[in-house]
């Protein structure tokens, strides 16, 4: 008789993010005294980019929202200028992912408006939008920008319609959307795009999840799961899966995972608790981490998601005594990579009129850049124009590195590269072997950059020593038009001037740093081309 010997092995799961923890900002680094809206609509009411925070406020006679500099922490002036052009309460706001000075808002007045924000923030109330989109017949509750095409906006309203807008249209008032999607029988509760924007997922009050072709409006998939009443739905990056949050038939809060190609049965369902607040899902495709935050809760759960069973692994949760009404998230390019920050929330704490930044940090001993937790991520440059997308083209996002000094999306670098006969990237992509012509192009690009160096130093010197001139004229000659402004008369204006100067100093320092990195890259390109030419 043969006895089979069985050995027991514990199942250890290797993960870089097992010990991720939440670190709330100190009181002086929060935004205090913000009159956050008292609307009961289930939205975030907050939008963030690396320059500004936009938050919907409570006001009388129409709708408004505040735009604050991310560096303007502490007590907020109760008379701070607002964006106040809507006739009804503002229901949703979203920054343009490719323009940090452009924000969209929708309102109970059945309109969507596009606003241009001055680069140094608001100095007075803004009431006239750049674009006014008037197509819906009832109040507009949701807006979403296309993730890879520039100037394409989606809006959803209480008329059960989703409208697709082309903002490249020359008219200031646009009354006819490019496409109207009329597949829903009730109010749309959430919208989410996949990575390249070729699929749009929606959750509806009729309890169905739909996957739609956003260009044609065709219904591709539909889920009607009786054991899960979906409220919010979210694409999980390139995993070809969706996550939905909602309630079970016993009214427990629940999350469900779906295969985007088959919505007949969820891959996974998990009950969380018996609370009543809506669960907001947030996903980071770079770390494959899912964050679930409840409206009215003080805690945020986070999971690690994979494409193989068991699909989701609970990590831990952040707990706070202060309940959140809504949340905004900072784009990856605005994170502090030196402190190993992989995600940042901005929690709206209504009971204290507070916006509290919350950083999710991977504990590492080294203070150097951690390349394994910061892969290439979506940049702030569109992959295509609106006309390209409407003509049938689909493209994934352009990627960028978060490593300090490696960002090349800079107006100075772009202007130099535009003047060069051929870029280094085109030389690398060339199918022919490197030759004299390509080498000459790279050398010419390098010489062009070196010839610009004295101008940068002269501009920096003139800014530091001669910025304040006679008659209250401030001249900043860093390749831009001089700014004409009067001397600050109030404390608020003085603060705005200070923030402008800080931003300008930071921008010039980044420009100098990026110039040095770029020169080194070009020198390396020349060396590589010479070596490869010698091999041939």
What is the DSSP annotation of 163-207? EEEETTSS-SEE-S-SEEE---SS-EEEEEE-TTSS-EEEEETTS
3-state SS class at 514: helix
pLDDT above 70 (res 284):
yes
pLDDT above 60 (res 532):
yes
The architecture (CATH level 2) of 21-378 comes to 7 Propeller (2.130)
pLDDT tens, residue by residue, 448-494: 444 444 444 444 444 444 443 333 333 343 334 444 455 666 777 78
Upstream peptide bond of 130 is cis (omega within 30 degrees of 0): no
- Tell me the pLDDT band of 434, cut-offs 50, 70 and 90: very low
Output the pTM of the full model. Answer: 0.74
| pLDDT of amino acid 508 | 86
| pLDDT of amino acid 13 | 61
User: Would you list the domain boundaries of the chain?
Assistant: 21-378, 495-535
Please give the backbone phi and psi of residue 85, each rounded to the nearest 5 degrees, phi first: -105, -5
| pLDDT of amino acid 411 | 35
* CA–CA gap between residue 106 and residue 90 (Å, rounded): 6
| pLDDT of amino acid 479 | 38
pLDDT tens, residue by residue, 52-65: 999 999 887 788 99
Q: Which two tokens stand for residue 229?
A: 């009443």
pLDDT above 50 (res 170):
yes
394 CB-near residues (< 8 Å, 6+ apart): 196, 197, 198
On average, the pLDDT of the chain sits at 82
Mean pLDDT of 38-46: 89
Q: Which two tokens stand for residue 236?
A: 């999980």
Tell me how far CA of residue 438 lies from CA of 52, 406, 445, in angstroms.
Answer: 42, 23, 11
pLDDT above 80 (res 198):
yes
Please give the backbone phi and psi of residue 24, each rounded to the nearest 5 degrees, phi first: -75, 145
Partners of 36 in the beta sheet?
Answer: 57
Let me know: does 125 contact 362? Beta carbons within 8 Å: no
């Amino acid at each position: 008789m043969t006895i089979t010997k069985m050995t027991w092995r514990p199942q250890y799961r290797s993960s870089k993010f097992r010990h991720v923890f939440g670190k709330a900002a100190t009181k002086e680094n929060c935004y205090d005294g913000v009159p956050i809206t008292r609307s009961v609509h289930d939205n975030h009411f907050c939008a963030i980019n690396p320059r500004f925070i936009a938050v919907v406020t409570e006001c009388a006679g129409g709708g408004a929202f505040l735009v604050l500099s991310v560096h303007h922490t502490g007590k907020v002036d109760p008379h701070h200028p607002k964006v106040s052009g809507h006739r009804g309460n503002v229901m949703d706001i979203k920054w343009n992912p490719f323009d940090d000075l452009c924000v969209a808002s929708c309102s109970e007045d059945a309109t969507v408006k596009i606003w241009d924000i001055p680069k140094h923030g608001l100095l007075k109330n803004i009431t006239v939008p750049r674009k006014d989109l008037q197509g819906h017949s009832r109040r507009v509750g949701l807006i979403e920008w296309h993730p890879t095409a520039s100037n394409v906006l989606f809006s959803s309203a209480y008329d059960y319609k989703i409208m697709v807008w082309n903002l490249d249209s020359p008219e200031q008032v646009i009354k006819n959307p490019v496409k109207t999607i009329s597949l829903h029988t009730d109010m749309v509760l959430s919208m989410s795009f996949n990575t390249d924007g070729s699929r749009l997922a929606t959750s509806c009050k009729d309890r169905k999840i739909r996957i739609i072709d956003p260009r044609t409006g065709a219904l591709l998939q539909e889920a009607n799961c009786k054991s899960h009443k979906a409220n919010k739905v979210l694409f999980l990056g390139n995993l070809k899966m969706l996550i939905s949050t909602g309630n079970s038939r016993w009214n427990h809060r629940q999350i469900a995972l779906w295969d985007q190609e088959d919505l007949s049965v969820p891959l996974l369902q998990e009950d969380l608790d018996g609370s009543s607040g809506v669960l907001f899902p947030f996903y980071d495709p770079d770390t494959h981490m899912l964050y679930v935050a409840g409206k009215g809760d003080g805690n945020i759960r986070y999971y690690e998601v994979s494409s193989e069973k068991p699909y989701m692994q609970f990590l831990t949760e952040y707990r706070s005594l202060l309940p959140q009404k809504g949340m905004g998230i900072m784009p990856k390019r605005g994170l502090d990579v030196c402190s190993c920050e992989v995600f940042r929330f901005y929690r709206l704490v209504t009971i204290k009129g507070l916006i509290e930044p919350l950083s999710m940090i991977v504990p590492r001993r080294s203070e150097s850049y951690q390349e394994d937790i910061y892969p290439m991520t979506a940049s702030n440059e569109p992959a295509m124009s609106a006309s390209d997308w409407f003509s049938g083209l689909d493209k994934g996002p352009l990627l960028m590195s978060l490593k300090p000094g490696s960002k090349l999306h800079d107006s100075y670098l772009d202007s130099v590269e535009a003047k060069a006969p051929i870029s280094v990237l085109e030389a690398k992509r060339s199918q022919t072997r490197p030759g004299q012509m390509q080498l000459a192009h790279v050398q010419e690009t390098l010489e062009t950059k070196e010839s610009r160096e004295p101008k940068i130093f002269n501009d920096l010197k003139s800014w530091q020593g001669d910025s304040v001139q006679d008659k209250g004229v401030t001249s900043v000659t860093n390749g831009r038009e001089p700014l004409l402004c009067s001397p600050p008369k109030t404390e608020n204006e003085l603060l705005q001037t200070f923030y402008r100067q800080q931003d300008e100093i930071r921008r010039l320092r980044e420009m100098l740093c990026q110039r040095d990195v770029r020169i080194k890259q070009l020198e390396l390109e020349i060396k590589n081309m010479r070596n490869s030419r010698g091999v041939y």
